[in-house]
């Protein structure tokens, strides 16, 4: 993990590092210790530890009543979590892959997201959905998607995507503290990445982006694994004297307009990097948000989006790699943009 990612922590200097998945697990354990109403639900999250081993050993600590293996029933399972959240529990529901949330869109979007509103504020659905997302594992079209943009379109939800172990922990704790449904998209390739993680409980603010690298020439907004690729590309760009500002998006709903707009006003150039399909993706919203703001007048180049190819994620590893933004493609795009060759 890029050292820069630790910079924003305001915690006292502490050398403790954890992996992204360990950080998530620690957040769950802290929450479960502190609050008996927190339960975990999901497929094979017990003895198996979850498909990505994120919940490993938690069942030994908290028992099968609080770490519940569900049948392979995503719609029903998510619905049980919604019903439980409505009536006093705080469930953390793990989808084994974010792709399988498609089976539960009904409960997430028609029920969880809307219940407070439909009931005129008389109900609260404090459920947290965890969703391992993204490509790069050779798992092909149905196990590699990045569908987080869909949920950006859904009022009532909050949608987070931690890029660092520190945020992975702090966002999960923040999600649990939130009275409304929260979706957390975790990137599979980040699970093993290590980074500084403060001890104890702390909340990463929901709805706040973070400037991970300051720069003057171009603003690159990226979240999740793309943050790391963007930071690496930014390092490369310095060789050509290009000084990129890199913003960790962190939160897809709500989007932190202010942080992004302030940066664009400074650099005059914007590029959004994301792993979802380019069309109708996260980049579309950010680009449009900037293009309709007063920062429009500060733009001196088109707004560039770098997203996935217009295809399902392919199995062949070279095709798979080619289908989503990589360090080199980010770097090349930033170069084109700063030279206005777009």
Partner 1 sequence: MTQPDNRPFAIRTYAPDQLREALKRMYLIRRFEEGAEDSYMRGLIHGTMHLSIGQEASAMASCMELTDDDKITSTHRGHGHCIAKGAEVGRMFAEFFGKETGYCHGRGGSMHIADVKTGNLGANGIVGGGLPIAVGAALSAKRLGKSDVTICFFGDGANNEGAFHEALNMASVWKLPVVFICENNGYGMSTSIARSTSVKHIADRAVAYSMPGVTVDGNDFSAVAEAVHHAVARARAGEGPSLVENLTYRWRGHSKSDRNRYRTKEEIEEWMTRDPIARFRAELIAHGVLDEASADAIEAAAIADMEAGIEFAKASPAPSISDVTRYVYAEN
Ligand X SMILES: Cc1ncc(C[n+]2csc(CCOP(=O)(O)OP(=O)(O)O)c2C)c(N)n1
Residues 120 to 179: which contact partner 1 by CB under 8 A?
120-124, 137-143, 155-156, 178-179
Q: How far apart are CA 110 and CA 34, in angstroms?
A: 31
Stretch that binds partner 1, among 3-11, 73-81, 218-226, 329-337 (CB under 8 A): 73-81
**Binding-site member from 56, 103, 189, 262 for ligand X (CB under 6 A):** 103
What would the x/- binding string for partner 1 be over residues 295 to 334, using CB under 8 A? Answer: --------------xxxx-xxxxxx--xx-----------
Q: Determine contact, residues 336/218, Cβ cutoff 8 Å.
A: no
Nearest to 54 by CA among 135, 162, 201, 149: 162
Stretch that binds partner 1, among 21-29, 35-43, 160-168, 287-295 (CB under 8 A): 35-43
Closest alpha carbon to 307 in 282, 270, 341:
282
Q: How far apart are CA 111 and CA 65, in angstroms?
A: 25
Range list of H helices, the chain: 20-34, 58-62, 74-86, 105, 113-118, 148-152, 165-177, 224-238, 257-267, 282-291, 317-323, 327-338
Residue 52 in tokens: 């990505």
Sheet holding 218-222, edge to edge: 210-213, 244-248, 218-222, 270-277, 304-308
User: Among the candidate windows 36-44, 197-205, 213-221, 328-336, which touches partner 1 by CB under 8 A?
Assistant: 36-44
Please, which residue, 186 or 285, has the CB nearer to ligand X?
A: 186
How far apart, in whole angstroms, are the C-alpha atoms of residue 53 and residue 261?
38
As a whole number of Å, the end-to-end CA separation of the chain is 31
Minimum distance, C-beta of residue 231 to ligand X, in the bound complex (Å)? 32
DSSP state of 312: P
CB of 222 to a copy of itself, least distance (A): 16
The single residue among 32, 40, 54, 84 that binds partner 1, judged by CB under 8 A, is: 84
DSSP 8-state code for residue 1: -
Residue 339 as a binder of a copy of itself (CB under 8 A): the answer is: no
Cα radius of gyration (the chain) = 20
Residue 77 interface partner, choices partner 1, ligand X, a copy of itself, none, CB cut-off 5-8 Å depending on type:
partner 1
Binding positions for a copy of itself, 269-288, rule CB under 8 A: 276-277, 279-281, 283-285, 287-288
Applying CB under 6 A, the span of 3-11, 96-104, 187-195, 329-337 interacting with ligand X comes to: 96-104
Cβ closest to partner 1, residue 52 vs residue 150: 52
Region binding ligand X by CB under 6 A among candidate stretches 33-41, 95-103, 184-192, 201-209: 95-103
Contact 23, 168 (CB under 8 A): yes
d(CA 167, CA 258): 20
Instruction: Give catalytic residues, as residue numbers.
Output: 74, 143
CA distance 165 to 200: 14
Name which of partner 1, a copy of itself, ligand X, none residue 149 binds, using a CB cut-off of 5 to 8 Å depending on partner kind. a copy of itself
Q: Does residue number 52 form part of the binding site for ligand X (CB under 6 A)? A: no
CB 18 within 8 A of CB 197: yes
Query: According to the binding rule CB under 8 A, does residue 231 interact with a copy of itself?
Result: no
User: CB of 71: closest distance to a copy of itself in angstroms?
Assistant: 16
Site residues (CB under 6 A) for ligand X? 43, 72, 74, 96, 100, 103
Site residues (CB under 8 A) for a copy of itself? 75, 99, 102-103, 105-106, 109-110, 113-114, 117-118, 140-142, 147, 149-150, 152-156, 253, 255, 276-277, 279-281, 283-285, 287-294, 296-297, 299, 301-305, 310-312, 314, 342
């Amino acid at each position: 993990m890029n050292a820069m990612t630790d910079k924003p922590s305001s915690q006292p200097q502490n050398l403790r590092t954890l992996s992204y998945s360990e950080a998530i697990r620690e957040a769950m354990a802290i929450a479960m210790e502190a609050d008996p109403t927190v339960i975990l639900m999901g497929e094979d999250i017990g003895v198996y530890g979850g498909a990505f081993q994120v919940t490993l050993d938690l069942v030994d600590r908290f028992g099968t009543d609080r770490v519940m293996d569900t049948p392979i029933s995503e719609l029903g399972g998510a619905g049980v979590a919604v019903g439980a959240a409505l009536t006093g529990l705080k469930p953390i529901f793990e989808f084994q892959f974010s792709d399988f949330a498609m089976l539960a869109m009904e409960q997430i979007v028609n029920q969880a997201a809307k219940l407070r509103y439909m009931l005129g504020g008389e109900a609260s659905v404090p459920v947290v959905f965890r969703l391992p997302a993204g490509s790069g594992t050779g798992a092909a079209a149905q196990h590699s998607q990045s569908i987080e943009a869909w949920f950006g379109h859904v009022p009532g939800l909050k949608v987070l995507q931690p890029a660092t172990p520190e945020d992975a922990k702090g966002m999960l704790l923040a999600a649990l503290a939130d009275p409304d449904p929260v979706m957390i998209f975790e990137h599979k390739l980040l699970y093993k990445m290590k980074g500084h993680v403060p001890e104890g409980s702390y909340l990463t603010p929901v709805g706040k982006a973070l400037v991970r690298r300051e720069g003057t020439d171009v603003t690159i907004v990226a979240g999740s694994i793309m943050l790391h690729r963007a930071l690496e590309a930014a390092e490369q760009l310095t060789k050509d004297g290009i000084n990129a500002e890199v913003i960790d998006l962190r939160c897809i709903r709500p989007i932190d307009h202010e942080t992004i707009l302030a940066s664009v006003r400074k650099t005059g150039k914007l590029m959004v990097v994301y792993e979802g399909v380019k069309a109708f993706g996260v980049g579309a919203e950010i680009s449009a948000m900037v293009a309709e703001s007063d920062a429009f007048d500060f733009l001196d180049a088109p707004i560039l989006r770098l997203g996935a190819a217009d295809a399902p994620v392919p199995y062949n590893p070279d095709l798979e790699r080619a289908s989503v933004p990589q360090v080199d493609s980010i770097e090349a795009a930033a170069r084109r943009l700063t030279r206005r060759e777009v």
